Structure 1
Amino acid sequence: MRVKDVKKVVLAYSGGLDTSVILKWLQTTYQCEVVTFTADLGQGEELGPAREKALLLGIKPENIFIDDLRETFVKDFVFPMFRANTVYEGQYLLGTSIARPLIAQRQIEIAEQVGADAVSHGATGKGNDQVRFEIGYYSLKPDVKIIAPWREWDLTSRTRLIEFAEQNQIPIAKDKRGEAPFSVDANMLHSSSEGKILEEPWDAPDEIVWQRTISPMDAPDVATEITIDFKNGDAVGINGEALSPATLLTRLNELGKANGIGRLDLVENRFVGMKSRGCYETPGGTILLQAHRAIESITLDREAAHLKDSVMPRYAEVIYNGFWFSPERRMLQALIDASQASVEGTVRLKLYKGNVIVTGRKSPHSLYSMKHVTFDEDQGAYDQFDAQGFIKLNALRLRLGAMAGRKGGTL
C-alpha cells in the first residue's frame, strides 16, 4: 500500500542505476522534495559522481549528503560484532548485514535535521536488506513513513529500469546496459556478489566474481608474517604500529588480498524464507577473526569462553535479521563486552595462500600457566593424584545409571 502525503523524503542513494531511477520515480510519483544520502563505508568507489548525478536530477546542493562514515562503521559496528567472533550459519562474516543499521541510523538523523517525513531505500522485496533498513528506521523513528519502490512500482526488470532511465534522461553507465552478470554490494569489511550467473549453486563462480582478493593459487609462495595487537578485545595495531579502526581494517584487507584470503562461496538461509547463493570476500575480517580467537584463547576463562560461543549464533542471527537496535542485541552486547576487559596482547600470524595460520600469542593477562601444563617437573604446582577424585565424581551419575540398569544389581 502506497504511503500518502509525503512532502520530503531522504533517499539512501548510491548514484547507480537503481537508486537514480528511484530518485526520479519519487519526484514524479510523489511530487515530493528528495534529499539524497550517500554513505562512504569504504566501498572503494569514487563518490563524486553520486553528487554530480544528484545535481543533474534536480537535487538542491543543500539536499545532498555524502558522509564519510568509515571510522564510525569499523569502531562502532564492525568491532563490537567481532568481539563476539560472529559468523552466521558457521561461515558468513555478516559484511552486508552490519552496514545496514549505520546507514539507517544516519538516514534518520538526516531526516530529523532537514524535517523530512519519509525515508526510502533501494532494497528489493525479495531480500533481507528491506527488513534490515526498515526495522532500523522504525526502531529509531517509530512514526516515520517508509517508501520501498521495489514493492510499489512496475519496473520489474533491468530492461524496464533502463527504459525509464532513458525516457527521463538519466545517465546510464555502459556496463549497465543489458543484463548484468551479477550484483555487487561492498563496504570496508567485505564485498558480496549475487544473482544472475551465480544463481545456480552447482556452477562454479568465474574468476571475474572475485574483486577483492587474488586467487589463493596465485598468491605468493612465501608466507607473510604479521602481528596484531589487541586492547579490550579490539585490534589496535599491526606489527607494533598503532592504527585507527578503519586504517587497521584497510591494512588487513590489503594483506588478505595479496595472500588470497577471505573468499567464501555460500548458500545461506535468508530471513525472508528463501535460500540464496552468494560469493563473499572478507580478507581483513577473516584475518581479524582468527587473531581475535587466538588472543581470547589465553585470556578468557574457560566457562566465559564457552558461554560466549554458545550465545554467538543467536547474536549473529539478531544482526543478520536486522535487529541491531533491539533490546536483545544490546543485552547480548553487554555480556560480550564484559568478557573483553582482559582480552589484551599480541597475536603472531602467517598468511599463506588463502590460509591464516596462528603461530604465537602473548598477553599481560594470560591465564596460560606453564608450571601447570609442563610435562617436565612441575615442582608441586599440580598434584596429579587429585585427578582421581575429580574423575570419580564426574563419573558418579554414569556409574549409578549403569548399576541401576543391571538386572538384580545393587548399588
Structure 2
Amino acid sequence: MKIKVRVSHDEDTKYASLICKKIQESAKSRGTGIAKKDPEYIKSKMINGNAVIAFYDGKIAGFSYLEVFQKEEFVVNSGLIVFPEFRKKGLARIIKVEIFQLSRKKFPNSKIFSITTSNSVIKMNTELGFKPVTFSELPQSEEFWKGCQSCTNFDILTRNKRKMCLCTGLLYEKNSSDFMLIHGDRIVLAYSGGLDTSYCLKYLIQEEGYEVHTVIINTGGFQKKELKKIEERAFHIGAKSHKTIDSIEEFYQNCIKYLIFGNILKNNTYPLSVSSERIFQAIKIAQYATFINAKAIAHGSTGAGNDQIRFDIAFQIICPEKMTLSPIRENKISRKEEIEYLRNSGVSICWDKAKYSINKGIWGTSISGKETLTSSHDFPEKAYTTKLKRKKSENIELEFEKGELVSINKEKGKAIKNIIKLEKIASEFAIGRGIHIGDTILGIKGRVAFEASAAIIIIKAHHLLEKHILTKWQLYWKEQLSNWYGMLLHEAQYLDPVMRDIEMFLNSTQKRLTGTVHLILSPYRFHLVGIKSEFDLMKSNMAQYGEMNHAWTAEDVKGFTKILSNQMKMYHNL
C-alpha cells in the first residue's frame, strides 16, 4: 500500500472529468451536497496549483480544491472526494490536511472556511482548529452563494434567506490555532542518537505523522565517526534531514570560561557538566528551528529531570511562537517501554548499552542508571566510560594567562585543545570520578555519576593560583557571586541579564591571574604541588607568615588590635 497526496499540476487535467463524475455520484448517493462540477473549472484549479490530488498504489483515489472570495479575505476548502473503492483507508483526513496546509501557505492572511453536511468532514475540520459559525460569518458575495445552486437543498437555503441550511459552516481564522500541530507539520528534534531521542524520532514520525528534522549540537565529546553514526541512525529511523552544528568554541567562550573563572563546583563536587551545555544546545536548536521555519521543537527529556526546564525556557524566550514537544514526558514512558516500542517498529538498540544514560561533553560526562535512582548503591566500575590505564604517577604543569589555560607541560595551545588534551591524559588515571547528589529545579533530590578529569583539575589548579594572587576580599566576593552564577546556570536562568553582570565581575578578577601550577597525577587522584607567578602575593618583602616582618613594629600591632577590638569591648562591657 502506497498513499501519495500532492499539489496538482497541469498533467493532472486528464482526471478532471472522472473527478466531476465521482463528485456527482457521491452527492446523489448522499442525497445532498453540490451535485455538479464543470471539468474545465476543475482543470483551472489543477493548472493554478489550487488543488490536491491523491493516489493509492498509483491509482487516482481522491481530490480537493480551494476557492478564494472577497479579494482573498476568505478561502474555502471544497470538493473533498475519496473514490468509493479507496474509502476507510485514512485518505480523507490526509487530503483534508494537505488542502488545509496549501490554503495556509498560499493565503496566509485569509480566513479559511468549509461548509459541509458530512459529520466526518466536520470532525476533521474541528481537529484542525475550525469552529462552527453562523452563515453571517461566511462570505456574503453572490459569487460564493452561486456555487450552492446545484445542491438539492438550495431551496432550503433561499427560503431561510441564506441564514441557515442543512450544511454546517466552519471557520478557521489566523491565530485561532497558532499552537496546534497537524499531520505533515515540520518540526525540529534535538537528537543525540541515544535511546530517548531515537524513540521520540520514531514516535513523532510514525504516530503523529510530522515531518521531523533532527539536529545535534556538538558542545564537545563527539568524534567525527560518532557524529556520522548519529546522522546515519537519524536517517535510518526516518528523519527528513539531519544537521550537526559545532558549538564548542562558543560554549567555551560563553560558559566554560566563567565556570573556570568562578571555580564552580556544585555542592563542591560537580562541575556542572550537563547543565552548563544544555542552555547552549537549546539556543542553537531554537535558532536552527527558526532558520528552517519549523512549527515546533521536540526534545527527549523526561518529566522528572532538569533538562526539560532548560530546553523549555530557552525555547519560550528565543522562539515563543513555536510549540515545544516532549513525547517521553507527555506519554510517561519508561526506558524499557521505549526499547520495546523501537523493536516493534523495526529499530534495534542494544539493551546492555541502554542500561545507562550517558551525556558526554567537553566539560565532562554524566552517567545515570538504576544505581543512581537509589541512595545506597555504589556506582559500578564498568559503568564509567573511561578506565584506569596508568598506575605510575606523573608530574604535570599547567600555565594560565588571565585565568585561561594556555599550555600543558610548556606546550602552548588554545583553551579548548588544552582541555581536550588534559582530559585525555588525566582520564587514563581515572581521575575526576564522583557521584553528585543535589536538588533539582523541580525540588526533588537527584543523584548522578560523573567523570570530569579535565574540569576538576583545571578548577582546582585555577583556584590555587587565585589564592596566591587575589586579595582576601576579591576571593570572598568572587566565591559569593560564583556560587550564584553556578546556581542560576543550573536553574536554567542563563538568559537573565544578571548573568552578564556577574561575568563582567569575573572577567575583572582575572586580569592578574597569570602563572603556572604544578601537579602530580596518580591513579584516581591528583595532588596540587604549588604555583609560580610574578603576581604571587606571598613574594612580598613586607613579611613572612609566622616569621619576620619588616613593614610594622610591635607598637603598630598593639594600636591596631586596640582599634580593631573597640566595638567588641563596648558590647562586652555593657
TM-score by length of 2: 0.64
The equivalent of 2:309 in structure 1 is 131
* Contact kept in structure 2, 1:3 and 1:146, CA below 8 Å: no
Q: Note the alpha carbon deviations across 1:322-364, whole angstroms, 9 max, x for none.
A: 1111122222222212211121121111222333322221223
The equivalent of 1:303 in structure 2 is 473
* Contact kept in structure 2, 1:213 and 1:262, CA below 8 Å: no
SS of 1:295 mapped into structure 2:
helix
SS of 1:385 mapped into structure 2:
helix
Residue 105 to residue 368, structure 1, CA distance change in 2 (3 Å): same
Q: 1:117-266 alignment to 2 at 5 Å?
A: 117-153=295-331, 156-173=333-350, 175=352, 180-214=354-388, 220=391, 222-266=392-436
Q: State the Cα distance separating 1:376 from its structure 2 match.
A: 6.4
Alignment partners' CA distance in 2, 1:267 and 1:114: 39
Alignment partners' CA distance in 2, 1:227 and 1:317: 31
Q: 1:28-39 alignment to 2 at 5 Å?
A: 28-39=206-217
Alignment partners' CA distance in 2, 1:240 and 1:264: 29
The equivalent of 1:4 in structure 2 is 180
Unpaired segments ≥5 residues, structure 2: 1-177
Residue 196 to residue 399, structure 1, CA distance change in 2 (3 Å): same
Alignment partners' CA distance in 2, 1:236 and 1:136: 32
* Contact kept in structure 1, 2:201 and 2:239, CA below 8 Å: no
Runs (4 or more) in structure 1 with deviation over 4 Å come to 375-378
The equivalent of 1:408 in structure 2 is none
The equivalent of 2:11 in structure 1 is none
Alignment partners' CA distance in 2, 1:350 and 1:49: 37
1:275 matched to 2:451? The reply is no
Q: State the Cα distance separating 1:277 from its structure 2 match.
A: 1.8
Q: 1:16-35 alignment to 2 at 5 Å?
A: 16-35=194-213
Structure of greater Rg? 2
Q: State the Cα distance separating 1:382 from its structure 2 match.
A: 3.7
1:318 matched to 2:494? The reply is no
Alignment partners' CA distance in 2, 1:343 and 1:39: 32
Q: State the Cα distance separating 1:272 from its structure 2 match.
A: 1.0
Q: 1:90-109 alignment to 2 at 5 Å?
A: 90-109=268-287
* Contact kept in structure 2, 1:198 and 1:205, CA below 8 Å: yes
* Contact kept in structure 2, 1:11 and 1:35, CA below 8 Å: yes
Alignment partners' CA distance in 1, 2:540 and 2:253: 35
Amino acid at match of 1:260: A
Alignment partners' CA distance in 2, 1:200 and 1:188: 27
Q: State the Cα distance separating 1:383 from its structure 2 match.
A: 3.3
Alignment partners' CA distance in 1, 2:369 and 2:238: 32
* Contact kept in structure 2, 1:233 and 1:340, CA below 8 Å: yes
Q: Note the alpha carbon deviations across 1:359-400, whole angstroms, 9 max, x for none.
A: 22122333334312336665x434343222221222111111
Alignment partners' CA distance in 2, 1:335 and 1:386: 35
Q: 1:333-372 alignment to 2 at 5 Å?
A: 333-372=503-542
Q: State the Cα distance separating 1:192 from its structure 2 match.
A: 1.5
1:55 matched to 2:235? The reply is yes
SS of 2:537 mapped into structure 1:
coil
Q: State the Cα distance separating 1:303 from its structure 2 match.
A: 0.6
RMSD: 2.2
Q: How many residues align?
A: 392
Amino acid at match of 1:5: L
Q: Which moved more, 1:40-49 or 1:393-402?
A: 40-49
1:402 matched to 2:550? The reply is no
Residue 401 to residue 285, structure 1, CA distance change in 2 (3 Å): same
Amino acid at match of 1:59: A
Amino acid at match of 1:193: I
Amino acid at match of 1:106: K
Alignment partners' CA distance in 1, 2:414 and 2:362: 14
SS of 1:280 mapped into structure 2:
strand
The equivalent of 1:407 in structure 2 is none
Q: Note the alpha carbon deviations across 1:66-96, whole angstroms, 9 max, x for none.
A: 1233333333321222111111122111101
The equivalent of 1:74 in structure 2 is 252
SS of 2:352 mapped into structure 1:
helix
The equivalent of 1:385 in structure 2 is 555
SS of 1:343 mapped into structure 2:
coil
Residue 64 to residue 212, structure 1, CA distance change in 2 (3 Å): same
Alignment partners' CA distance in 1, 2:430 and 2:473: 35
Residue 234 to residue 163, structure 1, CA distance change in 2 (3 Å): same
1:289 matched to 2:459? The reply is yes
TM-score by length of 1: 0.88
Q: State the Cα distance separating 1:29 from its structure 2 match.
A: 4.1
* Contact kept in structure 1, 2:189 and 2:214, CA below 8 Å: yes
Residue 339 to residue 213, structure 1, CA distance change in 2 (3 Å): farther
Q: State the Cα distance separating 1:13 from its structure 2 match.
A: 0.4
SS of 2:443 mapped into structure 1:
coil
Alignment partners' CA distance in 1, 2:401 and 2:318: 31
Alignment partners' CA distance in 2, 1:368 and 1:139: 48
Q: Note the alpha carbon deviations across 1:170-198, whole angstroms, 9 max, x for none.
A: 2323535xxx5432221122111223133
SS of 1:26 mapped into structure 2:
helix
The equivalent of 1:409 in structure 2 is none
SS of 1:76 mapped into structure 2:
helix
SS of 1:392 mapped into structure 2:
helix
* Contact kept in structure 2, 1:11 and 1:36, CA below 8 Å: yes
SS of 1:67 mapped into structure 2:
strand
Q: Which moved more, 1:94-103 or 1:205-214?
A: 205-214
SS of 1:373 mapped into structure 2:
coil
Q: Note the alpha carbon deviations across 1:27-48, whole angstroms, 9 max, x for none.
A: 2344332111112233346121
Q: State the Cα distance separating 1:213 from its structure 2 match.
A: 4.8
Identity over aligned pairs, percent: 26
SS of 2:542 mapped into structure 1:
helix
Residue 103 to residue 402, structure 1, CA distance change in 2 (3 Å): same
Q: Which moved more, 1:199-208 or 1:3-12?
A: 3-12
Q: Which moved more, 1:318-327 or 1:345-354?
A: 345-354
Amino acid at match of 1:49: K
Residue 231 to residue 393, structure 1, CA distance change in 2 (3 Å): same
The equivalent of 2:220 in structure 1 is 42
Amino acid at match of 1:34: V
Q: State the Cα distance separating 1:313 from its structure 2 match.
A: 2.0
Structure possessing the higher relative contact order (Cα contacts under 8 Å, 6 or more residues apart): 1
Amino acid at match of 2:309: V
Alignment partners' CA distance in 2, 1:376 and 1:397: 30
